[in-house]
Amino acid sequence: MLFGKKPLRLKRILVVEDEPLVAFDNEHLLRDAGYTVVATVDRVADAVRVIGADRLDLVLSDIRLSGSGTGLDVARAARERGVPLLFVSAACPPDAQALAVGCLSKPYAPRDLLTAIEAVDARLSGGTVRRHPGGLSLFG
């Protein structure tokens, strides 16, 4: 494809975020960028249900969530289903490295979220990470 956008491999995304404005902004940003937001949820139980029921390519999850549990519980469920997860959180706990492909620190610019997803895509497909936004740590 000459001068066009390359096809998205991580197309179907679950957003797990308990801050309504951040969730809303991320959902619209991702849709505008061509991604399919399968669901946007703020609780572990809802995230686990979506992970078990839908075909997903990536989960974006905060660490702190509404209700009981944390993003680490979401990451464990995603890992069991073979779905990569990128934490988007103010602080990534040390045990996150064993459960996620990376962590993007909050606050981040909208473009940084998109670039982080592109970097995760490149890492998972064995390619070279060309752009690495500030605040992104890739694991493994």
Q: How far apart are CA 41 and CA 65, in angstroms?
A: 9
Distance, CA of 55 to CA of 108 (rounded, Å): 27
Percent of the chain with pLDDT over 90: 80
What residue spans of 33-70 are helical by DSSP H? Answer: 44-53
- pLDDT at residue 6 is higher than 80: no
**54: confidence class by pLDDT, cuts 50, 70, 90:** confident
Is the model's pTM score more than 0.85?
Answer: yes
Specify the higher pLDDT residue, 54 or 124. 124
92 three-class SS:
coil
Is the distance from CB of 13 to CB of 38 less than 8 angstroms? Answer: yes
What is the phi/psi pair of residue 6, to 5°? -75, 150
Q: Name the 3-class secondary structure at 104.
A: strand
Task: Give me the CATH code for the 12-125+132-138 domain, please.
Answer: 3.40.50.2300
- Between 12-21, 50-59, 122-131, the lowest mean confidence (pLDDT) is in 122-131
pLDDT in tens, 56-66: 999 999 999 99
| Interval 83-122: pLDDT, tens | 999 999 998 888 899 999 999 999 999 999 999 999 999 9
pLDDT tops 70 at residue 5: no
Q: What is the pLDDT of residues 17-32, one digit of tens each?
A: 999 999 999 999 999 9
Q: How confident is the model at residue 9 (pLDDT cuts 50, 70, 90)?
A: confident
Domain ranges of the chain: 12-125+132-138
